[in-house]
Amino acid sequence: MKIRFYALLCFLIIAISAKAQEKKIQNIVEVELRNAGSIINDEIVVGHYLFYKTDRINRKTYNYELQILDQNLNEVGKHTVESSKHLFLMDAVYNGQSLMLKLYDYKEDKVMLQQLDNSAKLLSTEVREVGKIEKAQFRQMQSSKAAQAIFLFPLKDFGFADFRTLKNKNYGYSIDFYSSEGGENWNYSSDPKLKTHVFPTMLYGDKDIMMNLIMEKDGLLSKDFDLNLMVLDSKTGMPLFEKSLDDDKYKLSPINGFKVDDSGEFYLLGYYYDKESNIITSESLGLFKYKINNSGDIISKDYISWTEDAGKYLKVDEKGEFEDFGYVFFHDFVEDNMGNFYAIGEQYDKEFKGLGFDIVVKDMMIFKFDKEFKLTNIETIEKTENNISVPNAAFFSPQMLAMIVKALNGYDYEFMTSSMEKDVISIGYQDYLEIKKESDKYVFGNVFIADGKISTDTIDLMEVKEEKRFKVLPSEAGYIVVLEYDEKEKALTIEKVKLNY
């Protein structure tokens, strides 16, 4: 069994049946592979970006380049940044029109937000000071090579929202909006006089609304908290509504949201609990899907019970625990061209170890729902288990433990993309294979959903004994992109690889 505390970032292709384009970039002084990513619009990969240090201009200044590539790895454009050696790329997100970079100079304690068009032409730059709470968060990210930023979010074809934590009397938040259409930028902040701590999570955003989940707690260590849905007008930053979604029967914990159509209605999905339960310490009863209009009115409610619905396909006890593996954490939801919904999940469970517990991450799972959100099938994709060490695991509910494992980057799930017509959905994950009498190796696994049917494929990556710096990115449907950095040659090789399905 492989013991792992953080997700592996480096992969190596050693046996590929079909190859596509390849690109090599020379004279790279330094590169962090986490500074390479895919440009994704509506779950469709439209290109890739690379950010790296090239050379030293003088004693205090270095040259950095941001390169944008198309799907076939052709250079579309290049953007240059001059800064100190302490510059760090926190995040890069795409909203369908432009790319926003969030750069942090940890010597100057300043954040620089740069917006680029599709050819890497600079559109705007915003610079601001960094507060003490932000500084601590950024330094923690820098110390972890597996860390993923969760501060910058795209609003489709409209702008970007940058979230930061504030410390007044209690903890609060600030949201800075930056337009990509030449409109007004705005800021929305929590009330500094609040006697409670409030923490936001963005669920969805477009030109009309910004949907946020607000957690409100009396004390930082309190196990009791309230969850409210707070929706802002994307054009002005003014609140449209804030309300609890709990009803007389259930408590809700939303994890995803997306727009239904141009009517202004949207879906909200997540876990539901017994009304009297505590979300931190209690087990969920199943999944919910609400349809809500932009005034906050609930149009429809659907529930999928672990015991009654999922129990038709797998053994589930009366507490909602799957008897063969424990629980499921859902990474993403996606809709295909036939109106079916798919929930992409990963199994996990608690395992007693010494004086405490480890979390064991197990197989991938795909839950399929029809247009009416009725569960129609559950598929399991086998992979090797891995253990995640979580302090005080015995004191948290299964769903809260799942979120902690996500924060530790402990799952094997990597990404989900789809084709333009949404007739092919691709789900990528990593795996570790222990092979008798041979070297253990890492593999890349892919799950394809086409015409409502599921198929799988795996590609060998690197043997465990190899020590190379590699990373895998999503590409267009049926492909992945593999990056390799050669420190001796100071060169980055990028290869587009075809998958079989």
Can you give 419-463 as a three-state secondary structure string? CCCCCEEEEEEEEEECCCCCCCEEEEEEEEEECCEEEEEEEEEEE
Task: Specify the higher pLDDT residue, 479 or 79.
Answer: 79
pLDDT of residue 115: 96
pLDDT of residue 392: 67
List pLDDT tens digits, range 292-332.
988 889 999 999 999 999 999 998 887 777 888 888 889 98
Range of weakest confidence among 78-87, 245-254, 261-270, 430-439? 430-439
pLDDT of residue 465: 57
Whether the per-residue pLDDT at 369 is higher than 60: the answer is yes
Q: What DSSP assignment string belongs to 113-124?
A: EEEE-TT--EEE
Q: Please give the Cα distance from 87 to 112 (Å, whole number).
A: 10
Residue 24 burial (CB count, 10 A): 12
Calculate the average pLDDT of the chain.
83
Within its chain, how far is the Cα of 354 from the centroid?
32
List pLDDT tens digits, range 233-269.
999 999 999 998 888 899 998 888 877 677 778 889 9
Q: 139 phi and psi, to 5 degrees?
A: -65, -35
Q: Please give the Cα distance from 419 to 224 (Å, whole number).
A: 42
pLDDT of residue 2: 29
3-state helix, strand, coil in the chain (%, to 5): 5, 55, 40
Q: Using the structure block, give the residue that is written with the tokens 């804030």.
A: 242
List pLDDT tens digits, range 92-119.
999 999 999 999 988 888 999 999 999 9
What is this structure's pTM?
Answer: 0.82
Residue-level length of the chain? 501
Pairing of strands 386-389, 2-3: parallel
Tokens encoding 190 = 């929590």
Whether the per-residue pLDDT at 355 is higher than 70: the answer is no
Tokens encoding 50 = 């690379």
Task: Specify the higher pLDDT residue, 12 or 41.
Answer: 41
List pLDDT tens digits, range 134-167.
887 777 666 655 445 568 999 999 999 999 888 8
- Cβ-based burial of 356 (10 A; exposed 0-12, middle 13-18, buried ≥19): middle
Task: Specify the higher pLDDT residue, 342 or 35.
Answer: 342
The residue among 495, 470, 471, 485 whose CA lies nearest residue 26 is 485
Whether the per-residue pLDDT at 4 is higher than 50: the answer is no
Q: Are 330 and 304 in contact (CB under 8 A)?
A: no
The percentage of residues in the chain with a pLDDT greater than 70, rounded to a whole number, is 88
Q: Please give the Cα distance from 483 to 501 (Å, whole number).
A: 22
pLDDT of residue 482: 86
List pLDDT tens digits, range 188-223.
999 999 899 998 888 888 999 999 989 888 887 777
Q: Are 352 and 360 in contact (CB under 8 A)?
A: no
